[in-house]
Amino acid sequence: MHRTIHDYAASRIYLEEANRLQKEGKVDVSTWISGVSLFELAVAELRGYEHSLKSQEKDVQEAKAGWGSVLKLAESKLDEAMIASPNSVDLSTRLDSRVMMLREEINTKREMLGLL
């Protein structure tokens, strides 16, 4: 499927809104919404930046610096996701494992870029 930068922007808006509504107590049904939306925001940040690199010409140092910022942002979203997901949530163990796998991928990307 062909994605555009607009797809990532729209996704980000919906995910941020879901997280906001959960934090404001406007979601009564599920307590997992914030955790999952924050995880997906981390993924959207990573994929959105990767997509922007394909559509824009950046030199290696500029791309590397951009990755450093995006990786930090994604990790902060993962930290928030873990805080937002209480252990009593049905999906908490599944979310935990997804967060751990994405953290491993982020660390691998850092190693590849020499950003450790």
**Sign, Cα dihedral of 64, 66, 69, 70:** negative
Q: Report the distance separating Cα 31 and Cα 93, nearest Å.
A: 14
Q: Report the distance separating Cα 8 and Cα 88, nearest Å.
A: 31
Q: Are 16 and 38 in contact (CB under 8 A)?
A: no
pLDDT tens column, 47-84: 989 988 988 888 889 999 999 999 999 999 999 998 88
Does 88 have pLDDT greater than 60? no
pLDDT tens column, 43-52: 999 998 998 8
